[in-house]
Amino acid sequence: MLRIFKKDLKLYLKDKRAVLLTFLLPIILITLFSFAFGGIKTNNSKPNPIKMLISDLDRTKTTKQIISIFDSIAGIDVNLQEFDKAKIEVTKGKYVGVLVFYKGFEDSLHSGKGLPIELLYDRAQEMQIGLLQPVFMNVLGKFKAQESMNKNVTGFLNANFPKMDKGMSDRIIKNVDSKLEASNNASTDEGMQLKMSSLVGEEKDTNLFLIQAIAGVAIMMLLFSVSSLAAGMLDEKENGTLKRLLFSPIKPNTILFGKMLTALTISITQLTIMFVFTWLAFGLDISKNIPALILMILSTSFAVSGIGIFLASVSRTRAQAQGFGTLVILTMSAIGGSMIPLFVMPAIMQKIAVVSVNYWGIQGFYDIFWRNLPTSEIIPRVLVLVGMGTILSLISVRLFRRNVESLG
């Protein structure tokens, strides 16, 4: 098996163009996809205004005041919308999110309770939401601090100067207000919490589309790489070397698993290079959970290699290999989330996706980089991938045996 592997690796490395394509093509595609999905942060580009909805269920003077402040902020395009309609519009991706002032907002502000306000957002617009959040917090924090200060000053004046005329006490409070405004105190949002909920998915702490780009593209490219196994096997068949291998004292399964070992090695190397490249070029923190990352790289490579030897075993002609290869790669990539992120797909497609290796691979990488799940939570996905690879290998052994018999 090792000899087959060494020979195949030597053959692979001899073809410089193929080696270059194996690594260069996915790097180019990852870069392109990252740009396309907005996964790369650029300093020079002037952003378009962020389209935001506000749903005012409180309909008070305070909420209107806050909304007018939001509306005046450059770079934010604020639109008022009814709550239900706003949620639908955000879900459809027309707006990055909706800031909801629930009934009782003003009362809570006056009484110093937690504010009934929530930012419902589109997970796919994570970057814009990340920019909006501190702006909202700042404005709301100032309001809350001002309200608290007013309350304290009024209480103080009432307690110590009960006979002070109202005009004077109002002037004092206004003066305190303007000083508070001028100080632009950084601690205005202290204790202030803005509840944030994704309308479509989980929490995040890194760039979703960068993960989508690396995981989606890398697995699709792995499929392209291992599909060349089928072509390689056909080359061996056509030039007679497969027959010659069978003349020698090695078993047919050894040939097949030697090929799989080659595919596995190339896949592991390719995925590793992809992640290292994404780390160096785009700052993806690959050190977040290294054991889980290693497990995912190994299991994804194993499953993808299983597809490789399946294609090599099932194809009896070059046309079959091309046909099966294209079919498997495009179908798996399309339904599994390599081409289009799963969360923008309809629910039925998300259910179908589980049959593809891409789905389990991409979700596993999401678990590591997006959901920050511990290694123990990654294991089920790893097991599914290993199971897929094992089942495909077993089917391939049977198919290859039949394929080999036809050589005689």
Collapse the DSSP code of 45 into the 3-class scheme (helix H, G, I; strand E, B; otherwise coil) and give the result: coil
Shortest distance, position 263 Cβ to other proteins, whole Å: 18
**Pairing state between β 117-121 and 97-101:** antiparallel
CB of residue 43 to other proteins, shortest distance in Å: 47
Residue 31 or 228: the one with the smaller Cβ distance to other proteins is: 228
Q: Looking at beta carbons only, is 162 or 249 nearer to other proteins?
A: 249
With respect to other proteins, which residue has the nearer C-beta, 266 or 274? 266
**DSSP category for residue 89:** H
Could you count the other beta carbons within 10 Å of the beta carbon of residue 24? 11
Cβ 325 to other proteins shortest distance, Å: 22
Whose Cβ is closer to other proteins: residue 137's or residue 246's? Answer: 246
Shortest spacing between CB 12 and other proteins, in angstroms: 10
- What residues contact 27, with CB distance under 8 A and at least 6 apart? 273, 274, 277
Residue 303 C-beta: closest distance to other proteins, Å? 29
Kindly state the tokens that stand for 259.
């090929």
Residue found under tokens 């109002």: 170
Closer residue to other proteins, CB minimum distance, 158 or 241: 241
Residues that bind other proteins (CB under 8 A): 3, 7, 10-11, 14-15, 239-241, 243-250, 404-405, 407-408
| Six token digits for residue 155 | 């209480």
- 96 vs 256 by CB, closer to other proteins: 256
Question: CA separation (Å) from 19 to 13, 22, 62, 154, 225?
Answer: 6, 5, 64, 76, 10
Cβ 281 to other proteins, closest distance in Å? 33
d(CA 272, CA 262): 15
d(CA 274, CA 33): 13
- Provide CB contacts within 8 A for 101, sequence distance 6+: 54, 55, 56, 57, 58, 63, 66, 116, 117
